[in-house]
């Protein structure tokens, strides 16, 4: 898998707020034709790490029926990357490769990186 393909695989549509993250996915809707936008709210629980470019947060999504999902989200501040003149794609690629090897306690699909303006 190429670097660009790996980055595309981990790309998320999200809106970041101080207390939570809204994560959007799309599902085929055969009845209506086209796609249906699905929204998940992930509540920020605690900081589990911090580095030069941002923090890693533990987030929780509560589903109907009481099931819960937990994920780690690295929030990178774009202005920090610009100050240090870093190619953020390399940071994202490192995260994608790291999570692909399933070294983390969370599934690879749940390791997310959000870039804040």
H-helix segments, 32-87: 78-83
Q: Does the pLDDT at position 102 exceed 80?
A: no
Distance, in Å, from the CA atom of 56 to the CA atom of 65, rounded to the nearest integer, reads 28
The tokens describing 63, both together, are 């589903």
pLDDT of residue 31: 81
Spell out the domain ranges in the chain.
3-116
The pLDDT tens digits of the residues spanning 39-93 come to 999 999 999 999 877 888 899 998 877 788 888 887 877 777 778 777 767 767 7
pLDDT of residue 98: 66
pLDDT of residue 99: 62
The mean pLDDT of the chain is: 75
pLDDT of residue 110: 44
105: confidence class by pLDDT, cuts 50, 70, 90:
very low
pLDDT of residue 101: 44
3-state secondary structure of 45: strand
């Amino acid at each position: 898998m190429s670097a660009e393909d790996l980055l595309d695989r981990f790309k998320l549509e999200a809106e970041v707020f101080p207390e939570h993250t809204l994560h959007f996915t799309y599902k085929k809707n055969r009845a209506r034709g086209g796609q249906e936008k699905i929204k998940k709210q992930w509540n920020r629980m605690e900081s589990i790490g911090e580095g030069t470019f941002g923090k890693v947060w533990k987030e929780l999504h509560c589903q109907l029926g009481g099931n819960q999902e937990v994920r780690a989200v690295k929030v990178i501040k774009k202005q920090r990357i610009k100050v240090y003149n870093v190619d953020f794609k390399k940071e994202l690629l490192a995260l994608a490769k790291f999570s692909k090897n399933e070294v983390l306690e969370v599934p690879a699909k749940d390791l997310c990186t959000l870039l804040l303006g």
